[in-house]
Amino acid sequence: MEIDAPSHLATLGHPQRLAIFRLLMRRFPDRVAAGELAQTLSLKSSTLSAYLAALSQAGLITQERVGTSLRYAINMPEVRATLGYLFLDCCRGRPDLCAPATAPGPAQGTPEGPYNVLFICTGNSARSIFAEALLRREGAGRFNVYSAGTQPSARPNPYALEVLSQDQHDISHLRSKHIAELQTAAAPPFDFVFTVCNQAANEDCPAWPGQPVSAHWGLPDPVAATGTEAEKSLAFRQTYAALQNRIRAFTALPLASLDRISLQNAVDEIGRTTPGHPT
């Protein structure tokens, strides 16, 4: 593949175009609607269109029409080729000079657990609480599990706790907490970090130390459900079931035997194909 690295670098040299690129990288492999990009980055539609056109022309992103909405995603083969060019050509392939320092991760020979796993959503009241409780049970002994929110609620949602109680989970230790609690020097190093809501994935958070394997498993927020008590309860039950499918698929992976790229592809695929993935 012939790489136009100068064009790619020039395109990403604009701070707003770079912000769009970084957001789409955080959401990969999802396709993100133009309206969501504009709202998240506080951009006018006309301005966003110009930036998206420049990124598309450079080959860094792709566009797809879904109904009446245009959705965008990273063109990963092109991005990988550009990074490969910088490493192999500019750095002459010398990892001692150009490769980032990384802590050993689960795809780099870590023994079979326990792995430290973090689930993040905005309120840390339902989706990430479900994921925490589910992985504690489905992966007992293999995982240390945490959850947190970027704008946490005061406490887990009562409907969420009711669903967990009905399915015989221990809810005594569950609480809503800010992500800052897990970004201190005393916090555990994470092997996996999963976002389970789009808003949290869109936020420009600092990179986690040690470069854990990360993925976006976005699901609609059951807290936003309207209707009767039964209809609201059903929304929580459906979210719980979708996350249960994803957690079971995750715990079935042969983590210790997968290389990092294979493991990354596997956790991305779980978010794409398991029931409950939003369209």
> What is the set of active-site residues?
121, 197, 205
- 121 strand-pairing partners: 149
Exposure b/e, 172-194, CB count within 10 A at least 16 = b = eebebbebeebeeeebeebbbbb
What kind and span of H or E run contains 51?
A: helix 45-57
Residue 156 in tokens:
């887990």
Of 63, 35, 30, 64, nearest to 48 by C-alpha is: 35
Is it true that the peptide bond before 104 is cis, omega within 30 degrees of 0?
Answer: no
Contact criterion met (CB below 8 Å) for 196 and 90: no
Residues sharing a CB contact under 8 Å with residue 118, sequence separation 6 or more, in sequence order: 146, 147, 148, 182, 190, 192, 193, 194, 212
Determine the Cα angle at 11 with ends 47 and 70, to 5°: 45
Radius of gyration (C-alpha) of the chain in whole angstroms: 20
